[in-house]
Chains A and B, each alone.
Chain A
Amino acid sequence: EAGVAQSPRYKIIEKRQSVAFWCNPISGHATLYWYQQILGQGPKLLIQFQNNGVVDDSQLPKDRFSAERLKGVDSTLKIQPAKLEDSAVYLCASSSLTGSRNTIYFGEGSWLTVV
């Protein structure tokens, strides 16, 4: 079974530029998550999708971050304009249901450095 795929793996941009990350979840997984992990901290949820609808985006900085999941499969996370404090790993994860019993599977992350 293929895992959660993310690209690009690494990105360096200047502040005020824009960046987009792509995620392909495990086939058949209805729930998709984007997490932000700052160095030395645990992951923090940015947005959660159930199929192509948003379940929770309460911690997404909507003035600069946006995400979409067209057709309920792949998802993109965009940052525009980027700030220095956006330097982090952006982790995509998926699970088969929003119910509590299911393991969440993570991708390898997209590492962003804003200079």
Chain B
Amino acid sequence: KQEVTQIPAALSVPEGENLVLNCSFTDSAIYNLQWFRQDPGKGLTSLLLIQSSQREQTSGRLNASLDKSSGRSTLYIAASQPGDSATYLCAVRRRAGANNLFFGTGTRLTVIP
């Protein structure tokens, strides 16, 4: 069974700092990996989707990388801002079929002004 782990569970950084969030998964047979953001009291907002054939995806200040063979992904946030404070979740999608999206427990990020 696929297990997804996110470390650290919580992270506090001063504004302006670059930071990296980590996601690891046990089964490398995935189709893609998706990073989400969740604000308190809100649902999940998709940030980046990386297909298994890709190494990275970029959107603005965000860059997500994928190393499928080692079962790892990172989300890099450049020049962090207080508005980036949220919980970040990664989810891996295995081969097409039922119940194919597995989530980590998230990293709660606080950016201190």
Chain A interface residues (CB < 8 Å from chain B):
4, 6, 33, 40-45, 48, 55-56, 58-59, 91, 93, 98-101, 103-109, 111
Contact = CB atoms under 8 A, between A and B. Distances in A.
B79 interface: no
Interface residues of B, number: 27
B44 interface: yes
A99 B93 CA distance: 10
Q: Is the interface of A mostly helix, strand, loop or mixed?
A: loop
Given A103-B49, A109-B42, 9 more contacts: A33-B101, A41-B105, A42-B106, A44-B103, A48-B99, A58-B98, A98-B97, A100-B96, A101-B51
Interface in B19-36: 31-32, 34, 36
A98 B93 CA distance: 11
B46 A100 contact: no
Contacts of A56: 98-99
